[in-house]
Amino acid sequence: MNLRKVCIVGIGETKFGKSMDRSITDLANEACIAAIRDAGVSHKKIQIATGAYAAQWNGPAGQYFALPQVILREIGITKIPMLRVEDGCATGSVAFRDIWYRIATGEYDIGLAFGMEKMNAADSSSIRGQISDHDSEGESELGLTAATIYGMMANRMMYQYGMTREDLARVVVKNRRFGSMNPNAQFRDAVTIEEVLNARMISDPLTLFMCCGRGDGATACILMDEKTARQYTDHPIYVAANVLTSGSYDDASDYVTFESDVVAAKQAYEMAGVGPDDIDVAELHDSFAPAELKHYEDLGFCGRGESIRMIRDGETDLGGKIVVNTSGGLLSKGHIIGATGISQINYLVRQLRDESGPRQVAGAKVALQHNSGGFIHNEFCACAMNILTR
Amino acid sequence: MNLRKVCIVGIGETKFGKSMDRSITDLANEACIAAIRDAGVSHKKIQIATGAYAAQWNGPAGQYFALPQVILREIGITKIPMLRVEDGCATGSVAFRDIWYRIATGEYDIGLAFGMEKMNAADSSSIRGQISDHDSEGESELGLTAATIYGMMANRMMYQYGMTREDLARVVVKNRRFGSMNPNAQFRDAVTIEEVLNARMISDPLTLFMCCGRGDGATACILMDEKTARQYTDHPIYVAANVLTSGSYDDASDYVTFESDVVAAKQAYEMAGVGPDDIDVAELHDSFAPAELKHYEDLGFCGRGESIRMIRDGETDLGGKIVVNTSGGLLSKGHIIGATGISQINYLVRQLRDESGPRQVAGAKVALQHNSGGFIHNEFCACAMNILTR
């Protein structure tokens, strides 16, 4: 199978936050229009579109049918193949993956991937259903929510590697400092280690600031094959690797490593022909502070147990070896399920374009995006990853 | 782009109906295991899986994250790429399309497409939300539900072509007779024209029997590239064409033709190298009786306005020119959103395998599947189509 080189030519997104006064169509349209304008392409040239939408917290009124069609007809995009995809927290990334593959295989030359969520529109019964009643699957009824799983992860890393509560706080301080410099982030206040440690306890040892928030927002990007991309831009960003894996709950029973992440990284490095030492900048799925540290290890940024040293020594901060979550991460932006994956990609595109202002990683050439999927008992059950190059 | 030939090697499904005592995982597992057994393949050989699930009527408790992983871990399928897709009423077909394309392009050799729904598990608020409150999109608030749209279609066809209420009833009588011979159908009683016409009025001229029911159930199929398929079966069924289109509401304002269907048929015939005269048997999206008649015309089975003659003359019944909905159609099986598309395909596979008993179309060689997508105001906004050959 010969895959064509695929490039990201346009990116766009809304602010992330609370948007009770705007419809999900309105939010998604803003992101799609921004991406189309950024690419400098006519919307009539778009040949395929895939929308990411988890609808997890949107309540009955948000359980759309064929939402991509509903959204895109508003901006004049009709009559092309469209569908909606979902893969837990990796929902955004699988829309990107779908469009990437259709272009890489030569079926289409120009495609639109977009993702959106209005999580603040949820009614309480919807959230309660999500958290407590997963049909016949029993783990969540036993208390295994995302926060408790990551709490156990943190406890295990403290026991096994000597990680401290301050190390967890360091992740938050770094990411919220980046978030304070990102006008589109939801939480714009930088925080101190003391503030993080003294915040309300959610799932010991995780305090409020160590847990990502939810929110409303949308993201979009325009992909093209390399030849077409060159007609629209002199600085296309290449998708050097795209992988999707799933893992098994049973294989991760000590919670300090996710097999799906390890396998995805191995596959992505091989596909891109790079190693972790080549990565300049990364967006990693920091839904909870300990997750970011675990990712450093699963993705080979360091050895087992060495993530503590990395965060203490600032190796993932500006000026460090691999700068992680310069967007502010999920901890600053909020995890807006359908939008997150493409948001991570878009911030890396800005890094590779040298457009990240005070958050810019000087000379960034290779970027890695990592988006975890699944929920609660199957929290570990998906990993979407992209390696991007300029 | 060179696409490999892709074959359907295994099919499986549950009975369609009311299953309040079984989880959606249980239903989907039954269908997947049946397809795996029918293919004679080990579940460990499956390299990719895509699940179809609309979750439209499942209520808060049914708003799963990453449902394919939740379901497939129960039967030992883990660590492979999985995602969920949705495209309105065409949801099942887009899962099939995803697996078909990944195999056709040579990325994988063996894949699983499956779809499921537990629509009877819905709470009333979920259904109310679906019908009445579509965020800021206003058509449904104006009364444009599926039943009213198809009611208008029927009225227009009566006005324009001289169609009668009896013609609509003839579609139901034909499909329910087939359904009475299908042990997996939800509604097993054959009906008479009088019974159909005298049933409760839903949306004039559509009576209860002219509208499909909802239900619980699951379907699955195993796809392989031709070379691999030959290791498992001597009678693979080939996917000769697979297309997905979307259409515009504005282009179908008289409701007697859907542009998405016309375009999909054109593309599918071209891809398969056949014409409507070559089709022996078809499963068409008969969510409402007039839809089936409209499809005859949009798909070129006859000219404009001639569908009335076709149904009167039995041209789409056993012994006719193109036998339509030998499964009993949605009017007998119920429209179990995530399951419908693959169910249509599976019944055509049985026809091409000469395994349809009293419903068998003698010597069937070429089959067409047609699955409409979208909902309410964007009812016309997707068409998934497959042409299958033996």
Contact A133, B22 (CB under 8 A): no
Instruction: Inspect the interface and report whether the beta carbons of A79 and B260 lie closer than 8 Å.
Output: yes
- Residues of B whose CB is below 8 A from A137: 23, 25, 70
pLDDT of A123 > 60? The answer is no
The residues in B 135-174 lying below 8 A from A, measured between CB atoms, are 135-137
The residues in A 11-30 lying below 8 A from B, measured between CB atoms, are 23-26
Return the pLDDT at A179.
98
The residue annotated as part of the active site, out of A32, A89, A302, A383, is A89
Report pLDDT digits (tens) over B77-130.
988 999 999 998 999 999 999 999 999 999 999 999 999 998 886 554 444 444
Return the pLDDT at A252.
53
The residues near B188 (Cβ < 8 Å, ≥ 6 apart) are B179, B180, B182, B332
CA distance A245 to A259: 9
pLDDT band at B247; cut points 50, 70, 90? confident
Residue type for B202, please?
Answer: I
* Among the partner residues A64, A83, A129, nearest to B94 by beta-carbon distance: A83
pLDDT of A136 > 70? The answer is no
pLDDT band at A97; cut points 50, 70, 90? very high
CA distance A294 to B168: 62
Return the pLDDT at A124.
45
pLDDT of A192 > 50? The answer is yes
Structure-token match 């469209």, residue found = A82
Return the pLDDT at A66.
83
- In angstroms, the separation between the Cα of residue A126 and the nearest Cα of chain B is 5
pLDDT band at B259; cut points 50, 70, 90? confident
Report pLDDT digits (tens) over A220-233.
999 999 999 999 99
Return the pLDDT at A21.
87
The residues in A 88-117 lying below 8 A from B, measured between CB atoms, are 88-89, 94, 98, 101-102, 105-107
Report pLDDT digits (tens) over A144-191.
778 888 999 999 999 999 999 999 999 999 999 999 999 999 999 999
pLDDT top residue among B65 and B62: B65
Structure-token match 């064409």, residue found = B241
- Residues of B whose CB is below 8 A from A78: 246-248, 381
Structure-token match 């282009």, residue found = B251
Does the ipTM exceed 0.90?
yes
pLDDT band at B135; cut points 50, 70, 90? very low
- In angstroms, the separation between the Cα of residue B224 and the nearest Cα of chain A is 16
Longest dimension (CA), chain A: 57
Q: How large a percentage of chain A has pLDDT more than 90? A: 76
pLDDT band at B67; cut points 50, 70, 90? confident
CA distance B309 to A212: 62
Q: Dump the DSSP string for B240-295.
A: EEEEEE---GGGGTTSS--HHHHHHHHHHHHHHT--GGG--EEE---SBHHHHHHH
Beta strands A366-373 and A382-389: pairing type? antiparallel
Interface residue B314 vs chain A (CB under 8 A): no
pLDDT band at B70; cut points 50, 70, 90? confident
Instruction: Inspect the interface and report whether the beta carbons of A94 and B83 lie closer than 8 Å.
Output: yes
Share the mean pLDDT of chain B: 90
* Among the partner residues B65, B88, B105, nearest to A374 by beta-carbon distance: B65
Note the helical H segments in B105-218.
124-132, 146-161, 165-180, 193-198
Return the pLDDT at B128.
43
Q: For residue B93, what is the nearest residue in chain A, using CA coordinates?
A: A83
* Among the partner residues B25, B69, B106, nearest to A374 by beta-carbon distance: B69
Interface residue B5 vs chain A (CB under 8 A): no
Report pLDDT digits (tens) over B327-383.
999 999 999 999 999 999 999 999 999 999 999 999 999 999 999 986 544 445 789
Return the pLDDT at B133.
39
- In angstroms, the separation between the Cα of residue B142 and the nearest Cα of chain A is 16
pLDDT of B271 > 80? The answer is yes
pLDDT band at A255; cut points 50, 70, 90? confident
Tell me which of A150-159, B61-70, B240-249 is least confident: B61-70
- Omega into B276 within 30° of 0, i.e. cis? no
